[in-house]
A = this chain, B = another copy of it.
């Protein structure tokens, strides 16, 4: 058992029913904070912010100073991995990410794992700086590293950006299974390298974000979500037995229990739609769950925030649990609502 800084989070992820539960928020370093917007304004584009260690470490630490969360999460983006493999990436204001569309073996062949070590070096520098900053500033928080899961990263690469339902990706998975399997396989290998490097640089937990897992039919979910997660978890566990692993198969719905049982993670993230009571029923009890307040309830504040937070806390009391949102915090959220939430969870 870890009794150093960040131990509340690490103990909960390790299967202990820590109470009150440790707490952090997805996208806690973000536009709802004026101090983030100030750094963002001087960073130039979004990729520069992710790959300039001084700035990325600074915004990672900002929410800790305000709210004393139990975890810092590396400030980065799930699309930094394909970018590091040589796939193009740009963020257009108000439009989200824009990438070349990978649609054939030529596109796949252009990806270059040899670029990875050099391209991810600034991210690893950020990890080291945040670890040092947490200690220097005396925060009792663990550092979480992360990557996009292979399927979700493949979604953006195939579609060339976001999509309502990632139809071209699903079509490729059905119609060109060799191509899609190869893409997911290559991304799985790269993710293992990327997350291993984050663990070596000092990340104490690693989270795998499969934001679009829920668009898949069950057969493809097992093949492209649970399978790669299990391969990644096994590889990381063999090398870093003390690093805790969190899988987040967003929108997995009724597949959550199967994912939790088969993916080999220490914890699973719950999206906003998942009933905490259902999660408690289907996730094996030694596996921690993390979630799942609706960011719109946090934005609304007041009675809705109290009722939703209270419901989650009472459903999760007595099992390994980490309080979080079920999706990233909304940029319009008043910081004082976050303060109120922290008070409520600490008083649980």
Contact = CB atoms under 8 A, between A and B. Distances in A.
Contact of A254 (B171, B173, B256): B256
| Copies in the assembly, this chain | 2
B296 A273 contact: no
Interface string A273-299: 111111000100000000010111101
A275 B254 contact: yes
Nearest to A162: B164
A296 B251 contact: no
B300 A273 contact: no
A255 interface: yes
Contacts of A67: none
Contacts of A217: 272-273, 292, 294, 297, 308, 326
Nearest to A274: B254
A174 B330 CA distance: 14
Interface in A211-267: 214-219, 221, 251-256
Nearest to A278: B254
A167 interface: yes
A174 B254 contact: no
A38 interface: no
B251 A300 contact: no
A105 interface: no
A92 B275 CA distance: 37
Given A217-B308, A219-B308, A311-B219, A171 B274 contact: no
A175 interface: yes
Nearest to A165: B327
A174 B273 contact: no
A170 interface: yes
Nearest to A177: B304
A300 B171 contact: yes
A296 B170 CA distance: 6
Contact of A164 (B164, B297, B305): B164
A348 interface: no
A307 interface: yes
A170 B294 contact: yes
B174 A275 contact: no
Contacts of A251: 214, 251, 253, 273
Contacts of A300: 171, 174-175
Interface in A3-22: none
A340 to B, nearest CB: 14
26 contacts: A164-B164, A167-B295, A171-B296, A174-B294, A174-B297, A174-B304, A214-B273, A215-B272, A215-B273, A217-B292, A217-B294, A217-B297, A217-B326, A218-B273, A218-B274, A218-B276, A218-B277, A219-B308, A219-B311, A221-B273, A253-B253, A253-B274, A254-B254, A254-B273, A254-B274, A254-B275
Given A165-B327, A167-B295, A219-B311, 12 more contacts: A171-B299, A173-B296, A174-B296, A174-B299, A174-B304, A174-B308, A214-B251, A215-B273, A219-B307, A219-B308, A253-B273, A254-B254
A-B residue pairs, 7 tightest by C-beta:
A253-B253, A174-B300, A174-B304, A175-B300, A170-B296, A218-B275, A254-B278
